Amino acid sequence: MRYITFSKNIFIPVTNVCRNACAYCVFKARSLEEAYVIDKREFLAIITNKGSATEALFTAGEKPELANFSHFFIDRLSSSGCSSLVEYTKELCKLAIKHGLLPHCNLGVLSRAELKELRPVNASMGLMLETTSELEAHNKSPGKDPKLRLEMIEEAGRLKIPFTTGILVGIGEEKGDIIRALEAIKSVHEKYGHIQEVIVQPFLPKPFTPMENKKPPSSEELKEVVRAAKEILPNEIAIQVPPNLTSPTELIELGASDLGGIAEKTMDYINPESPWPREDKLRRRVAPYELRERLPIYPMYIKKGWYSEEIRPLIERYADEEGLRKGDGF
């Protein structure tokens, strides 16, 4: 392995109104007072202070139109002239592109029509599979049905969308469940060739959630999962380990090759207790491996031309001849 990759992003939480109620989540609004939808002025203030980031990472609660506080969400969107999460996020993506950012949307389960609508304004998209098992942690989360999530991942493949997925380790699954999830991802990729990375993300207990007293997976358990991922997944799929949630050096030695997005200007809204390490510190942590910056679309898909004319100018501005970040961000 010649180098380890990462990207520089701006983390944009579009809304925390969500139809799911996962037993480990602190992102979802639990009351009307906590609910928000990012407005365009706030969004513009964030992206105009993007620093050296090239990626706008859009996250949101899933299907907020069907959630508690849906009236709040719909009212806020109406004031912007939009009627759905996808329509509103597409407008934000267009603004991000104008300000030099390549969008990557992870908005939960989307239909084929919604994927098609977002594809032209995204460099890549994502959806965590998490697991192929039915778990107690997801009892109140209709969108965490593994069949629904695999169907969306397949639709993204049919549409030639460079895609990120992953597994969540430690939420009540058995060892065999992890193997089955990795094999399911491999099977979809073998059909469509669109999965650029698989995240191995550990569960971390959050206060005031039903799983607040559950232990996170041990470092040995994470090593086992990375070993299995390296054995099962095709070589062209990167194995990503988030450096704010793991000790990446040991996992790199077992096959991890990417550290995901690092935000200089924004926090991790999904894991607010875990700040991202600074880039200089990260370089020291992964030594002797070299750290190289990439875009939200991986080099293989840049070479294949799996992107729209709307984002071509940014890809040509940022990508070097290898498909990584020109000048490595310096």
What pLDDT, on a 0 to 100 scale, did the predictor assign at position 61?
A: 97
- Within the chain, how many helices (H) and strands (E) appear? 11, 9
Q: What is the mean pLDDT of the chain?
A: 94
What is the distance between the alpha carbons of residues 110 and 164, in angstroms, rounded to a whole number? 14
pLDDT band at 293 (very low <50, low <70, confident <90, very high): very high
Would you state the pLDDT for residue 1? 57
The residue with greater pLDDT, 129 or 68, is 129
More confident site: 294 or 267: 294
* CATH number given to 6-329: 3.20.20.70
Q: What is the pLDDT of residues 88-139, one digit of tens each?
A: 999 999 999 999 999 999 999 999 999 999 999 999 999 999 999 999 999 9
The pLDDT assigned to 102 comes to 98
Residue 329 has pLDDT above 70, yes or no: no
Residues 219 and 251: their CA atoms lie apart, in Å, by 9
pLDDT at 264 over 50: yes
Judged against a pLDDT cut of 90, whether residue 263 lies above it is answered with: no
Break the chain into its structural domains and give their ranges.
6-329
Name residue, tokens 């949630």: 245
Cβ burial, residue 220 (10 Å; 0-12/13-18/19+): exposed
Q: How many CB atoms lie within 10 A of CB 177?
A: 18
Q: Is the pLDDT of residue 330 over 50?
A: no
Q: What is the pTM of this model?
A: 0.95
